Structure 1
Amino acid sequence: MFKLKGGRYWFSNGWNWPGIAALIGGTIFYWMIAYAFPQIRQNITAALPTIVFVALIYRIGMSRLE
């Protein structure tokens, strides 16, 4: 875990691209729900669908690396 290079979490030169894509995609998705669909935000909060969306993006991205 604490290796500077080649460790378990090294991925691509220290960058986990599926993780970064999930972070950016999740932020955009959250803003879209929170501001474009305020009725969803008021009823169930934008966080719940965003959690599902980010988990799916990350899982799909990581499965392509394996």
Structure 2
Amino acid sequence: MSAATLFDKVINTLVLKNDAGLAREMDSHPVVISKMRNNRIPVGPLMILRIHEATGWPTKQIKAVIAGEGAQ
């Protein structure tokens, strides 16, 4: 559906409390996560790679969730 859906799934999978925890896990700044969540900036290849490394999900699946295809 969007970056928000993706981030919610990642937070649940990694058992994190919030976007600040996600930012720490992804080695990013919380403001960047917020902007991606609110579709003000796109989820870039580096963030997709970091999510892949942290969760083990295929990059194709990550891109599908962002695109709204709901792949699980």
Q: Is the structural similarity TM-score above 0.5? A: no
TM-score normalised to structure 2 length = 0.31
Q: Identify the structure with the greater helix proportion.
A: 1
TM-score normalised to structure 1 length = 0.33
